[in-house]
Chains A and B, each alone.
Chain A
């Protein structure tokens, strides 16, 4: 409970202020002169002292000094406008009001001055946590020294490996909990390396092994050096979701180069020299993107590795780029099937690395969601924007709602953060207006109020706010509320846009996205290719193998299509046993290769009928391309559909490209088995 000491001898004003503050749950005590002030403050510690300057027995300046000698709580001065101007600068008071006061404004700002209990506890906690982290940070260099010594001792005598492993393990577990995530990850790499020796004792006698241990140790040290810089940017903010990029290459020099580059770009890069290492990282954390060398050594297939990384639950939608000097069609097809959005050449990497990674970070933020923040106070607005950007959102800011609708239309938004007190229109009115429009009727809107006033909350909800939060805004709370709104919106969208059985886009979502992508290709003079495919003799599969087996076929093909290709390629279930695949920026030839590979893979998957017998399934596909086969969505679908039916008539189990008949000869002829 907040206690306010009101020093005043004008009963009318005292009455007004008292009832205002009491209505908001505060306890109000009175004092009329210097001696009662002393008595009250000694007996009942106040949280705020309000001084009215019209006091005859002492000047307000003297009273301020008396209060200051007794307590450190904020002092609010109520005074004549002329007096306020004269004494303001020298007094260093948090609030000065000139009479007559605006009662609501007055109460609200007094409330804002007194931290609410919960906020106090949390800010206190954050401070304690910051202290703990400081202690940890101070001890970190000596921990790293101990770790280095343990590694050296282990190299001399493998009996000490266990000690080094334990130290790395501890650092792995603790560093991240103290906010030093990069140190934790690097230590995890070291821990895993050292654990390998337990399985294979031979390693301990190999120089190459100790070299990689040394480099992992070096990584750990480097990330420890970098941590304080990040701290300086975000003091006390614990919510920063890392936006890290995974780089996989067997060449340590290249990895060092990338690390150096990424530091300059302020991108968090995690490097892995082996596929095992890369997968270990991918299983434990989400990445924004992965950059893989196509040539990862003789026994490693980089494309398979990319697919496996994408199969880890946290990295289903990460961007993938390959580094290679080889631009052959089959390599490109394999790369795109493995999800590559970008091909980089090692020789020109310095320039293209920066632009590619920045584009990846940007598009990943767009994927997470776009937030528009409307708040007139520049500092507050920037704080909200910083917090939300740290949480991985793409954020833009406005100081008033005047151009809000234009901004919404131009940039789109997944969440709107509205302050209640805006110039001209209030946030509540803005919210009400948006709710009346069809287009923005469902947009999640989060309203921030500085009044912990139930009536205002009710008004905000009545106006259609999805959520209301009051100042002071805690970073964690802001992110948690934004996340919750986004997640709800995403679930609703998914339910409408996703086909339940295949997990691909629904027909409607595919059409909408296709239209958008086609428009962009036209503007940017890029080609586009469409694959329209139909599972062969699916009715017979359902009739002879059972409907559940038919469902499994649809689900498996959907899964295969989800696991392949780039994030930007569209994959949808058209209906029944028909599917569509759209490759923006690619020619028909490419799509034909890709469809052939898909057919080959799909036709080798064994299915089991409801009674347990094994069977195989094929499909037939028609390809069409913009601009060669037409300019409109309808023309492209019609053309692909014509080719698909030509393929069905000429025997099924084949891909029909532009005019020429392409048959995949070595595949299993599944129809024999039906």
Chain B
């Protein structure tokens, strides 16, 4: 008999059980997909939402954040679609190809599917699941994301839509693709989206992503991205987290890199009451390069968790992580970074750094680096710093006539600059700088 203490079901747990019983059968996909949904839901049902007792959720008690299961998002009506038109404006100067999701449903008429570059195919996940595209169906469960991860299991059980993007070997999708997520329902809702991106050998793609609310503020978004990078493929992602102040946002990325593939991922987080960006990255081929960065600018009681599991499963791969947070009031930043170096993965070069700037006495940052190294010829390091604004620098700026709040803004921007400077596209860098400036001005 299993003697493990099974927590009692919470209202949220029961809500999801009820939702799955009622709506599960209507979710897109044939028998094969449904079986995978049921299996995933079974994993959720066995343990419920994770609490602090689950090591991976030690600093982010999902159970206490997610008090109730909000109803599954309905198909957006005309009003919702109309409100979504303003979404994603921050990236407009880059002129990306917009793919718009309203309350988690792909809306073709708001999206741009014209003049697809050669070798680029785009379809909605709902479409792919309904038509039973074999590659899509098989990849639902076959990913490098930990099968025990409950947030991901919930995503598998409830995913309603998302996007499936393929770039053929050797092709370069020159125009960035922007996944525009707009939450427009006037009632609280739960949204589950899943996207699959596949780059053939030597293919290149830049993916932008933004989240904004135009309806009820207290929504729950659970998104997942499965990423498969072929040999020498190059993938850039820039995610702009401008959720409403009451949103709960849990995002999972599962990325698998073949030899010499390059993954650059950056997330700027400003919104949401609780945000968790978790990434599982596996370097399966020699010479893969991983660069994960993040910046967050938090206030009030915001809680932002970045959790990384980086698996160096092949020799000679390089990984860099740099995460910075600016924390005011009672906000809290959590960073959990695990680097695994397998026995055969000699010449691994892995470095992880987190830095926090605390603007108040009550802000908090928690860092948990974990290194599991089974090879003997590797370079692997981690570091964490935490401090207040430098008063001497602030005085220097003020002595030149710059007012206190403007001086602080300059120093905060300078602090975050090191992270944003790593973004390859100048247009995207400028767009994000504009977002950061607006956020700092609003801070006033």
A and B physically associate = no
Interface residues of B (CB under 8 A from A): none
Using a CB–CB distance below 8 Å, which chain A residues touch chain B?
none
